[in-house]
């Protein structure tokens, strides 16, 4: 059994291995219970609620983020994935900003190293 902190850190996602949208499988993974019993409870609720559970199931499928393909290695990965799932344009803007900063830094280093007054002899002999 996983602790609450471990479940909280992994988050609630729709499973990519689920039968229909992966909601039951994702909930079962999050709560650390059997997928079979989660599906049985979902079917019982479907029949007892005269179809309202189906609407809730579809809403849950639309609101839950899909499970990441690769597990997160650090919190920044999770943050980027969540931002990408919520708003792809914002995530792409963030990536572009990061790469523009890196490009600017590399250009500055290249300008320093390729300048005429850069003392290669002294640097190589140190």
For the chain, the domains span 1-67, 70-126
Distance of CA 60 to the CA centre of its chain: 17
**Could you read off the pLDDT of 43-98 as tens digits, one per residue?**
898 889 887 888 888 888 888 887 776 777 777 777 777 777 777 777 788 889 88
**Could you read off the pLDDT of 90-111 as tens digits, one per residue?**
778 888 988 999 999 999 988 8
Alpha carbons 14 and 67: distance in angstroms, whole number: 5
| pLDDT for the residue 72 | 74
Q: Out of 23-27, 34-38, 81-85, pick the least confident.
A: 81-85
Q: Is the overall model pTM greater than 0.85, yes or no? A: no
Alpha carbons 13 and 4: distance in angstroms, whole number: 16
| pLDDT for the residue 73 | 77
């Amino acid at each position: 059994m996983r602790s609450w902190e471990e479940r909280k850190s992994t988050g609630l996602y729709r499973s990519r291995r689920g039968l229909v949208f992966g909601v039951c499988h994702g909930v079962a993974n999050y709560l650390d219970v059997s997928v079979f019993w989660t599906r049985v409870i979902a079917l019982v609720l479907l029949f007892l609620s005269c179809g309202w559970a189906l609407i809730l199931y579809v809403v849950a499928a639309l609101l839950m983020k899909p499970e990441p393909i690769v597990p997160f290695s650090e919190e920044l990965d999770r943050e980027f994935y969540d931002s990408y799932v919520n708003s792809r344009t914002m995530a792409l803007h963030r990536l572009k900003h990061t790469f523009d900063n890196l490009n600017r830094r590399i250009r500055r280093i290249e300008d320093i190293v390729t300048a005429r007054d850069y003392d290669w002899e002294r640097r190589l002999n140190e």
